[in-house]
Amino acid sequence: MASVWDTRSLHFGLLFGILLGFFAIANGLKLWPMPKSVNYGSKTLYWSTNMQLRKDGSNYADSSGILKDAFERMVNLIEADHIIEAKFANSSVLAGVNVVVHSPDDTLNFGIDESYTLNVPAKGSPLYAQIEANTIFGALHALETFSQLCYFNFTSKVVELHAAPWTIYDLPRFPYRGLLIDTSRHYLPVPVIKSVIDSMTYSKLNVLHWHIVDDQSFPIEIPSYPKLWDGAYSYTERYTINDAIDIVKYAERKGVNVLAEIDVPGHTLSWGVGYSSLWPSKSCREPLDVSNEFSFKVIDGILSDFSKVFKFKFVHLGGDEVNTSCWTTTPRIKQWLNNHHMNESDGYRYFVLRAQQIALSHGYDIINWEETFNNFGDKLSPRTVVHNWLGGGVAQKVVADGLRCIVSNQDKWYLDHLDATWEGFYTNEPLTNITNPAQQKLVLGGEVCMWGEHIDTSDIQQTIWPRAAAAAERLWTQFDKLAKNPTDVISRLAHFRCLLNQRGVQAAPLIGSGREVPSDPGSCYKQ
């Protein structure tokens, strides 16, 4: 009984904090993630029934329609299918948005300038919000921020923008702000993946890490080795190569890079369904056969095909949780190791390093899970990014050795850990104990991981959100603007969670563990 009351007290305290904070920001900042610099006034502007996009002074021609499509999406999100009835005859009508982009290029390169300035004047005729950015992708972030300033008035039936004039300057703290999805443990249809990409943009996440294949299934078409997707769960639970191209293009138009992962040499049981010679033996089926040249030819074929689809600077080669016992219990592989003066640990290192060389030959930088660094970090390519997941202190060691790092420590940033709270997601600091400025720059950012053992279309979004948004602010917002106590952002995060719901994203309540359901009837803002 005592534990029940302790839980109720905790929930009551959280609810009280949400209510207090919500009323405190009723006329203030509700933006998520928090920008670097914000100034605002007290005047209310009214949304025109015919909002216009202008590009006066811009060097960006928008021949691909990225800006036009983003503006139309923003208008639809703000109006939220409400019927806008009112007509105005005063000077407080916001006629549209003028977007000035300095670069004519819309190639989404890693580390691209994502900064922007957003000004919403309180006076003018006609009255236009002003966005200025060095790249189109900074402008996309500005449009998202602008959308969070606008609200539908249910009494007057108009969209209003409160607290003008606004002056916002913003840029990300880290260039890599990722979310992993796993389509091997459960297949995710293409529209579901696209909906995840849409939701990422609302909190300015910019890398979709696609863990495509694993032991359980190999759902993607590889033209160079067409039998690989015989390892899919079923005939329909597959992605054609054109599906992958479509997903990448869809994401890039929204400022999201797609990081493809093939996890080698472990996590590869499904590969042998189509090509059984990749298995050490029919009774011992992973890791991939280190003694067989065909293993490396298949990796080369996959990465050759990937290089035509996945244009991101990096490819993820996994390298984690490799149980090499099949190599030593299979006589011909054990003999091969002996002939090459290797033990099984040497074979593991040989495989990872050779896979790295193949990736480098296709123009990729490599990301590997941290076991590779923990076992033979001094042998890794200098173009390696070490992906920390097991625990603390690893990033500190990685950057001290001059390698780059991404942080995803499982105790804080694994979304499938339903006991990992949003508060933990918010307070997890990628630069813990890293004080040297040069080493800090080697931490590219972080990633929240939505592993798919218990995730499919039915529950993926409510397991991701709103906890991923808490990490998103940690990765975007400048350190001095982050709340020192997560209770200080409860109301703002609750507001963002409700905004996600209004946009059709099934974000779960803040109260309780991950993927929690509402405890009682009530307002979204109180959950």
Q: Which of 472, 518, 486 is nearest to 200 (CA)?
A: 472
d(CA 112, CA 7): 45
Q: What is the pLDDT of residue 15?
A: 42
d(CA 357, CA 414): 30
Helix (H, G, I), strand (E, B) or coil at 148: coil
pTM of this prediction? 0.94
Helix (H, G, I), strand (E, B) or coil at 207: strand
Helix axes 190-202, 241-252, angle to 10 degrees: 20
d(CA 251, CA 196): 10
Q: What is the pLDDT of residue 25?
A: 41
Token output for 502: 């209004």
pLDDT in tens, 46-66: 999 899 999 999 999 999 999
The dihedrals phi and psi of 211, each to the nearest 5 degrees, come to: -80, 90
pLDDT < 70 regions, the chain: 1-28, 86-91
| Cα–chain center distance at 136 | 19
What DSSP character marks residue 196?
H
Q: What is the pLDDT of residue 5?
A: 33
Q: How many CA atoms lie within 13 A of 399 on its CB side?
A: 23
The dihedrals phi and psi of 496, each to the nearest 5 degrees, come to: -65, -40
Q: What is the pLDDT of residue 392?
A: 85
Token output for 406: 């991404």
Helix (H, G, I), strand (E, B) or coil at 373: helix
Instruction: Look up 321 and say whether it is catalytic.
Output: yes
How many Cβ atoms sit within 10 Å of the Cβ of residue 292? Answer: 17
pLDDT in tens, 111-123: 999 999 999 999 9
Q: What is the pLDDT of residue 21?
A: 36
Cβ-contact 189, 238 below 8 angstroms: no
* Catalytic residue chosen out of the listed positions 132, 286, 321, 371: 321
Cβ neighbours for 144, distance < 8 A, ≥ 6 positions apart: 74, 201, 202, 204
Token output for 274: 């189509």
d(CA 310, CA 247): 10
Q: What is the pLDDT of residue 28?
A: 53
